[in-house]
Amino acid sequence: METSNRRLKEKAYHELKEFLVIALYLWVVFGLFLVYKSVILNEEHIDYLAHGIALINALVLGKFVLIARALHLGERADDAPLIYPTLLKSALFSLVLAACKILEDAAVGLYHGKSFSQSIAELGGGTWKGILTLTAMLFVVLIPFFGFGELQEVLGEGKLSQLFFHRRDVLKPVGSRML
């Protein structure tokens, strides 16, 4: 009983860490999209409310990413060369996140008595071209995220983080050279 409780706590801790990393990554991405939008529109002020909403969206969509992972979304290509599962997961998860965002905006709009097109007017300019462009940008932004995850899975838990965040001389075995 004690070992199952310990395993459950370890799993919960691992899931929480994974969720926080996903949410942080998405928040940075959404925040950068907001900054880019303000630069394009030549806006002078910083809308802190929009950044707060971006954080809430990142938290909610981060949970959807965990749910999609639990449902093994994109794992069909896990035995293929790393580029395939990386691109497949980036594509599938960008579609999931785009669909969630569209549904969220539609639900909020419906609550406020707006039509579907009025509800998604802020999302990509309200056009399908704009929404597809945002989805494509999200796909590209997710490639490093899933690439990192795929590499970590191949190398072993924590190994890639160790390679990225520790000095190289600490990682080298005595008497060996890194290429």
pLDDT at 171: 63
Q: What residue segments make up the domains of the chain, in order of their start?
A: 1-59, 72-179
Is 175 a residue whose pLDDT tops 60? no
pTM of the model: 0.76
Task: Measure the CA–CA gap between 96 and 88, rounded to whole angstroms.
Answer: 12
Helices (H) and strands (E) in the chain, counts: 7, 0
Band of residue 159 on the pLDDT scale cut at 50, 70, 90? confident
The CA angle 139-141-14, to the nearest 5 degrees, is 100
Band of residue 158 on the pLDDT scale cut at 50, 70, 90? confident
User: What would the mean pLDDT of 132-148 be, rounded to a whole number?
Assistant: 91
pLDDT at 57: 84
User: What would the mean pLDDT of 100-109 be, rounded to a whole number?
Assistant: 86
Residue range 23-34, pLDDT digits in tens: 999 899 888 888
Task: Measure the CA–CA gap between 88 and 94, rounded to whole angstroms.
Answer: 10
Q: Among all chains, which residue has been given the structure tokens 């959807």?
A: 64
Is 109 a residue whose pLDDT tops 60? yes
In the 8-state DSSP scheme, what is residue 71?
Answer: T
pLDDT at 69: 84
pLDDT at 90: 93
pLDDT at 77: 82
Specify the amino acid at residue 132.
L
User: What would the mean pLDDT of 132-150 be, rounded to a whole number?
Assistant: 91
User: What would the mean pLDDT of 116-133 be, rounded to a whole number?
Assistant: 82
pLDDT at 1: 66
Band of residue 83 on the pLDDT scale cut at 50, 70, 90? very high
Report the mean per-residue pLDDT for the chain: 84
How many CB atoms are closer than 10 A to CB 27? 19
